[in-house]
Amino acid sequence: MTAKKRKITIAKAMAEAIAHEMRADPGVLVMGEDIAALGGVFGNTRGLLDEFGSERVRDTPISETAFIGAAVGMAAAGMKPVVELMFVDFFGVCMDAIYNLAAKQSYFSGGNVTCPMVLMTSVGGGYGDAGQHSQTLFATFGHLPGLKVVIPSNAYDAKGMMIAAIRDPNPVVFMFHKALQGMGWLGTVQSSVVDVPDEAFEIELGKAAVVRAGRDITIAGLGHTVHLAMDAARELAKAGVEAEVIDLRSVAPIDRATILASVSRTRAFLSVDDDYMSYGVGAELVATVAEAVALKARPQRISYPDIPVPFAPEMEHAVLPSADKIIAAVQSILGEK
C-alpha cells in the first residue's frame, strides 16, 4: 500500500515545523508582527498561539531593531528564537542586529557564544506590491559572512529546512517567496503545494537539489525561478533539449559542488533568479562555473534588472524572469557555435 498523500502549502509546512520544534524544545519561541492571533500575514504561524500561549508566541510592536536585537540576545542566552521580519524589504530598519550582531556572534566570541536564531522573512513580487514590498535581496544577505540564507521552493523543503534551521546553532535567514506561499489572496504556484510527511524531518541546509536530470544544459534557480525553470524544461523537452534543473535552496552557503558536478557533464550553464542583476546570485554562480569548468558555450544569467521594482503590471511583468526568457536563453546558449 502506498503511503498516504498529504499535500500542504509552504505556509502550513512552516507552521508545522515550528510547532514540532516548540513541542520538542522549550527554548524555542516565535515572535514578530501579527504572528500570534492572526497567525502571520502569510499564514506561517497559524495555530501556534492556541497551542503554545502568548509567552512563547509573541506579537511585537513595530520595532524591528529592538525585537530582532532581542532575538540575538535570547540566542546568546541559549534560547532558540524564531523571529519574523514581515517583508525582507524592511531590513533597512534593523540590519545592524542581523549582519553585525547575529552574523558575527560566533566569530567574535571564538565560537563560545553562538546565535541559534531563525529570521524568517517574505520575499518576492509579481503581484503589484511595488518597490518597497517586492524585493528578494538574496545577494544582499548572502554577501555578508556569518549568515546562512535559505529559500525553499516547495512545502516539503520548507518543512525540512525550517526544522533544520531551528536546530542549527547558526543564524539562519529563512526566506519564503510570496508567489509560493499558499495564500489564496496572493495566488500560488500550484507545484509548490506538495506531499509532506506528518512527522519531523530535516533537510540539510546548504545542499542544493537536482530536481530534474538532463544532459544538455544546467539551469540553476531558487524559490520561484525553480518552477519557471521546470516549466521551461518541459517545453524544451518537446524539442528534444533536456535541461538539468538545480534548486539552489541555499544562497549561503552555496552548494558549489552540486552545481559543478552538473555543469561538468552538461558543459552549459544558465542561472535564473529574481534578485537585482549586478553583484547577484547569477554573477556568483557564473563566476563559480567559469572558474572551474571549460564550457561548450558562454554562460548566461537571467536576473531582475538594476531598477526599483515598478508598480504597473505592464512594467513589472516585462522585467521579471519567465519560462519564455529561460527557453530563449537556453536556445541561444546551445545555438552558439
Partner 1 sequence: MSQENSQRLWMFKTMVVSREFELAIKAAYLEGKQPVFNMAKGPIPGEMHLSNGQEPCAVGVCAHLRPTDAVTSTHRPHHVAIAKGVDIGRMAAEIFGRQEGLSGGRGGHMHLFDAAVNFCCSGIIAQGMGPAVGAAMAARLAGRDDVAVSFIGEGAANQGAFHEALNLAAVWKAPVVFVIEDNAWGISVAKRASTAVSDNSARAASYGIPGVHIPGNDPDLIWEEAGKAIDRARKGGGPTLVEIETVRLEGHFMGDAEGYRPAEEMAGLAQRDAILIYRARLEKEGVAQDVLDDLEHQARQEVTAAIAFARAGKAPTAAQALEKVFA
Partner 2 sequence: MSNVIIPANLWEEDLEGAVSIWFFEEGDNVSEGDTLCEIMVEKSTFEVEAPAAGVLRILVQVEVPVKKGDAIAHIG
Q: How far is the CB of 28 from partner 1 (least distance, A)?
A: 22
287 binds partner 1 (CB under 8 A): no
- With 0-12 / 13-18 / 19 or more C-beta atoms within 10 angstroms meaning exposed / middle / buried, residue 104 is middle
Q: 85 and 94 in contact (C-beta within 8 Å)?
A: yes
Active-site residue 316, yes or no?
Answer: no
Closer to partner 2 at the Cβ: 7 or 234?
7
Binding-site ranges for partner 2 (CB under 8 A) = 2, 4-9, 182, 184-185, 188, 190, 193
Closer to partner 1 at the Cβ: 299 or 321?
321
Taking the C-alpha atoms of residue 139 and residue 270, their distance in angstroms, rounded to an integer, is 17
Rg (CA), the chain: 20
296: amino acid identity, one letter:
K
Given the residues 133, 177, 224, 227, select the one marked as catalytic. Answer: 133
Grid look-up 552538473 returns 262
Active-site residue 143, yes or no?
Answer: no
The contacts of residue 115 (CB under 8 Å, 6+ apart) are 72, 75, 76, 101, 102, 103, 105, 106, 169, 170, 171
Given the residues 16, 21, 33, 64, select the one marked as catalytic. Answer: 64
The binder of 287, among partner 2, partner 1, none, by C-beta within 5 to 8 A per type, is none
Residues 38-67 that bind partner 1 (CB under 8 A): 38, 41, 59-66
Q: How far is the CB of 321 from partner 2 (least distance, A)?
A: 24
308 binds partner 1 (CB under 8 A): yes
* Residue 284, helix vs strand vs coil: helix
Length of the chain: 337
Q: How far is the CB of 113 from partner 1 (least distance, A)?
A: 25
Candidate list 116, 126, 146, 282; residue touching partner 1; CB under 8 A: 126
Q: 293 and 264 in contact (C-beta within 8 Å)?
A: yes
227 binds partner 1 (CB under 8 A): no
Q: How far is the CB of 184 from partner 2 (least distance, A)?
A: 3
Residues 63-102 that bind partner 1 (CB under 8 A): 63-66, 89-90, 92-93
Q: How far is the CB of 133 from partner 1 (least distance, A)?
A: 6
- With 0-12 / 13-18 / 19 or more C-beta atoms within 10 angstroms meaning exposed / middle / buried, residue 261 is middle
Residues 187-206 that bind partner 1 (CB under 8 A): 187
Grid look-up 529559500 returns 151
The binder of 33, among partner 2, partner 1, none, by C-beta within 5 to 8 A per type, is partner 1
Vertex 317, ends 314 and 320: CA angle to 5°?
A: 150
Structure-derived torsion over alpha carbons of residues 124, 211, 206, 201, reported in degrees to the nearest 10: 100
**Site residues (CB under 8 A) for partner 1?**
33-34, 37-38, 41, 59-66, 89-90, 92-93, 126-133, 184-187, 305-308, 310-316, 318-319
Q: Which residues does the annotation mark as catalytic?
A: 64, 133
